């Protein structure tokens, strides 16, 4: 066991093999088109079911689950099925999000619906949701069924909140007057809830103390807000080669990300009017360069960076009240810093 905090790259690899093994165990004996679609989403196979080594994502949520568990002195092996479950739930949401957003690419290859169609993709997402719950039910130890039961409740509540947030995200697309407070409420549900859930799951298998669970859940929600704000920033000012996402995508889809919402409320009157008109005119694609210049004049780029840092600081403050090991505190701090400042 290392005694000093590892850099984020090492932290992401620390549990990766074990998480992959736990995920693959969920699919043991499953041989159906839905299983192939789920394996495709996870980056294990191509559209024909042949093994490949595609981009599988960073596995942030299972990493946070297991890191929290270890940092609290818990049983990482007992938590592994729960970590696999939260990764399956996250991917279920991605499959459905791609359908709702009409996105044809994810992680540099066609999305599930782009390969199999929207109806089948929705079914595949539902399939992954079921597998997530079944995986969490396998967590814990044979002599303590209560931890698995509590973990399923934690996962289900997190899924409920995430679904409510996704609804708000879609609803805001049709609303002209969306405030920064509206946006923060939405991401607290859509993104932050599942990251908070991931950390709370780790605490379930590290003593299952209600106060500790609540504390790490709140820290995870702050971290999730930083993650989403940074994601919005990278969607406009990121490097497409690093992120795998066009910097025009969010603007062309007229998504009300934080920089857009901030400029619509805090920009100069003429800029607010121009931005409102560009988003409202569905017959003419927005001029990306003009919108980006408008956002920068409005201070929206700096605001997004500053707010991500505020949530990062909030995460660190909340974690300081949790009985983490010295190594665990440093490691979670390193992961929080990476999340708020990442470039990928």
CATH code of the domain covering residue 337: 1.10.600.10
Q: How far apart are CA 140 and CA 146, in angstroms?
A: 8
Our CA dihedral for 221, 243, 122, 66, rounded to 10 degrees, sits at -40
- How confident is the model over 30-84, as pLDDT tens digits? 999 999 999 999 999 999 999 999 988 889 999 999 999 999 999 999 999 999 9
Residue 3 placed within a domain: no
C-alpha distances (whole Å) from 330 to each of 196, 216, 226 are: 18, 15, 18
Residue 154 placed within a domain: yes
Cβ-contact 90, 194 below 8 angstroms: yes
Structural domain of 136? 8-341
- How confident is the model over 310-342, as pLDDT tens digits? 999 999 999 999 999 999 999 999 999 999 999
- Bridge partners (DSSP) of residue 51 are 45
Residues 6 or more apart whose Cβ sits within 8 Å of residue 234:
243, 245, 342, 343, 344
Q: Count of domains in the chain?
A: 1
Cβ-contact 84, 216 below 8 angstroms: no
Our CA dihedral for 287, 292, 295, 301, rounded to 10 degrees, sits at 160
Residue 256 placed within a domain: yes
Residue 205 placed within a domain: yes
- Bridge partners (DSSP) of residue 144 are 141
Residue 2 placed within a domain: no
Phi, then psi, of 51 in degrees rounded to 5: -60, 135
Residue 63: how many CB atoms within 10 A of its CB?
Answer: 24
Q: Is the pTM of this model over 0.85?
A: yes
Cβ-contact 256, 324 below 8 angstroms: no
- How confident is the model over 158-206, as pLDDT tens digits? 999 999 999 999 999 888 889 999 999 999 999 999 999 999 999 999 9
Our CA dihedral for 85, 324, 18, 37, rounded to 10 degrees, sits at 30
């Amino acid at each position: 066991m290392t005694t000093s905090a590892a850099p984020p790259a090492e932290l992401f690899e620390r549990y990766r093999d074990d998480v992959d093994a736990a995920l693959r165990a969920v699919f043991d004996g499953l041989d159906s088109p839905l299983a192939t679609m789920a394996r495709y989403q996870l980056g294990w196979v191509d559209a024909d079911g042949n093994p490949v080594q595609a981009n599988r994502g960073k596995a942030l949520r299972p990493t946070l689950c297991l890191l929290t568990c270890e940092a609290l002195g818990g049983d990482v092996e007992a938590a592994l099925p729960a970590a696999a479950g939260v990764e399956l739930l996250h991917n279920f949401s991605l499959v459905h999000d791609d359908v709702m957003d009409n996105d044809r690419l994810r992680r540099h290859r066609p999305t599930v619906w782009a390969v199999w169609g929207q109806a089948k993709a929705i079914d595949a997402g539902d399939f992954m949701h079921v597998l997530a719950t079944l995986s969490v039910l396998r967590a814990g130890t044979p002599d303590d069924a209560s931890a698995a039961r509590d973990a399923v409740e934690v996962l289900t509540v997190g899924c409920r909140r995430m679904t409510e947030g996704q609804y708000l995200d879609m609803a805001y697309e049709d609303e002209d007057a969306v405030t920064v407070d509206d946006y923060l409420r939405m991401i607290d549900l859509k993104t932050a809830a599942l990251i908070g859930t991931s950390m709370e799951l780790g605490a379930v298998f590290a003593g299952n103390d209600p106060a500790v669970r609540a504390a790490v859940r709140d820290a995870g929600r702050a971290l999730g807000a930083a993650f989403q704000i940074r994601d919005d920033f990278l969607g406009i000012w990121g490097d497409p080669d690093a992120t795998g996402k066009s910097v025009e995508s969010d603007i062309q889809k007229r998504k009300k990300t934080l920089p857009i919402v901030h400029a619509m409320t805090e920009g100069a009157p003429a800029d607010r009017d121009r931005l409102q008109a560009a988003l409202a005119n569905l017959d003419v694609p927005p001029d990306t360069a003009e919108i980006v210049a408008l956002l920068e004049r409005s201070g929206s780029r700096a605001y997004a960076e500053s707010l991500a840092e505020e949530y990062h600081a909030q995460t660190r403050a909340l974690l300081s009240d949790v009985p983490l090991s010295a190594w665990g505190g440093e490691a979670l701090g390193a992961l929080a810093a990476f999340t708020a400042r990442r470039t990928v």
